[in-house]
Structure 1
Amino acid sequence: MGSLENKVTPTLSENDKACLQAILVSSAQMFSCVLNATIELDLFGIIARAGPAACITTSEIVSQLPTKDSDSDTPSRLDRMLRVLVSNSLLTCSIRTLEDAFSSHRAFWEASLRMKHVILEGGNQFQRAHGMSVFQYMDKDPAFNMMFNKSMTGLSTIALSKILEGYQGFVGLTSLVDVGGGTGKSLSMVISKYPSIKGINFDLPHVIQSAPSYPGIEHVGGDMFQSVPKGDAIIMKNILHDWNDENCKKLLRTCYKALPDKGKLVIIELLMPEATESSLASQYISRLDMSMLLNLEGQERTEKEYEALCKESGFSNFQVVFCAFTLFAVMEFHK
């Protein structure tokens, strides 16, 4: 899949381009960390020594890295980092079929300094830096939790405002569950436009504790991997990219059980292009993908990868139905 522009959304307006540029700036720290790790690993030197017209695979690059601790996933992790450089026009790449075929918070910054280690060794670098996962850290540090929720709310507000202008998938629903809905701001935007819908905002108990009251919305705390409230439809925004494939399928199956026959799951996520581009959207997605690799062992995925998760979790139909800013894709998984 190439760019989402003109596929499910019109050409970007000047205002939309300015908004996308502002979103990209928020990921500048990740680009600097990638560049630092690139220099530490001598990637430019390795590629240059292959020759001006040569094509070199990530596996071939890994074989020349200064470590004996790499594993079978090292080429894949390196490929994700190289996407950042390609999307910023520092490298070029081609796709070939081979046989082996808030970001500025100090807590994230300390993990980001371990970029080289995550490429060579893998593993959750946030956990190694702090002795606990991001979500455990949020539970222990109320100030960090509040900053994280505000950051997510701000980004979701920008995306959902645009999505509500064009996406018609909430029409006719009587109930809607927002799984991982944070403090409920996004769901409140949907209910404000469709007041006949009963909204249920579902998240971890420590998140729900700080959630304000919204008309037409009930806040419910719990563990989304165990069970989620039932509703005509379920929405998840920027949740699946936090998790590896197995945890995603576990979560999707939990949602499947909570839906009625013919019910649908609305997924809002970034879509990684099949071929890395130099667009603003591709630059942002590739940077955020590195944040997922560092801090959560999650990843940004392509349309084909989301379709595979959909089918492998029991859903019968998959469709990308809308895209905001050529960045935030709205996908529907039908039961």
Structure 2
Amino acid sequence: MGIVGASGYGGAELLRLLKAHPGVEVVGFSSRKYEGKPLSAAWPQLWDRRPFHSQEEVLERAEVVFLALPNGLAMELTPGLLEAGKRVIDLSGDYRLPPEVYEAWYGIPHKSPGLYPEAIYGLPELHREELKGARLVANPGCYVTATTLALAPLASAGVLRRAFVVGLSGVSGAGREGEGTFFAEVNENLKPYKVGGTHRHIPEMERNLGRLVAQGPRVRTHGPVGEMRLTFVPHLVPMTRGILVTAEAEVDGDWSQGTLDELYGDFYIGEPFVRVLREALPETKGTYASNRVDLKPLYEPRTGRVLVFAALDNLVKGMAGQAVQNLNLMLGFPEETALPKEGIWP
């Protein structure tokens, strides 16, 4: 295994998780900023006597490459890696959307659009069979994972009409170089951002739910996509990590709490990293440092609407843990290998 971009938060979590994986060896990790420096220069919590390698060394040695890079860079490296017979798990947004949609929302010309039809969308709960043996995986992010899993049972059942989603994110979701994340700006502060339908993850959420509308519970990445629109309002909160999503859904049909619990319980039965709560409500501390998603659907009789709450750790299930889960499926390891289900408390 090799990690390109190991000085970011996702890269650090990948190192932490993969060092405990009995079936793989991390042969190199790179960072332009820290090249040649000890790992502890960037991550004092990790112990490895090797320094950060050059990107070229990592790409040469590794059979599977994790690209934990800013948007727009993976599309430059991936074609050569696949031609060399390597496998790629991309943690950026470069292969999550059709190239024309990507260009419209990210404002970056796509340099390898011909690879999009091969990229498998890396949400195991929906694309598990497709991920087995994949060469290129587009690893989804935290908001999208939480929102998709919160609304997937309703979309798959064909009863979801529209949704209003409020997302709350810890500061690490903005990345290590995130703008506006200095302590003086985020401490004792709560603010919305990228509102009014401008957040670049909106088309990904709508596409995921549209697939479920058109295809049912076990969707194909490049299968038909139905119509779906949602409103998404993200907020930055003064905590290190964690995502909490509250989705208010307008649904067709007559519902009760019992039928709603049954729908969600059946949809996620046997899923190793999704816990549907019966009594408690999800909270970010409950999933801290785990690869688990906690969900709670709630029927509101007064309005006839469904509320769904979802919590996950943005750096694990929302990023690096999901990437390792995809790796396990790609290579035929047990899906839960090296992935914690339990959170850390307090």
TM-score of the aligned structures, taking structure 2 as reference length: 0.27
Indicate the structure with greater strand content: 2
Larger RCO, structures 1/2 (Cα 8 Å, 6+ apart):
1
Higher helix share: 1
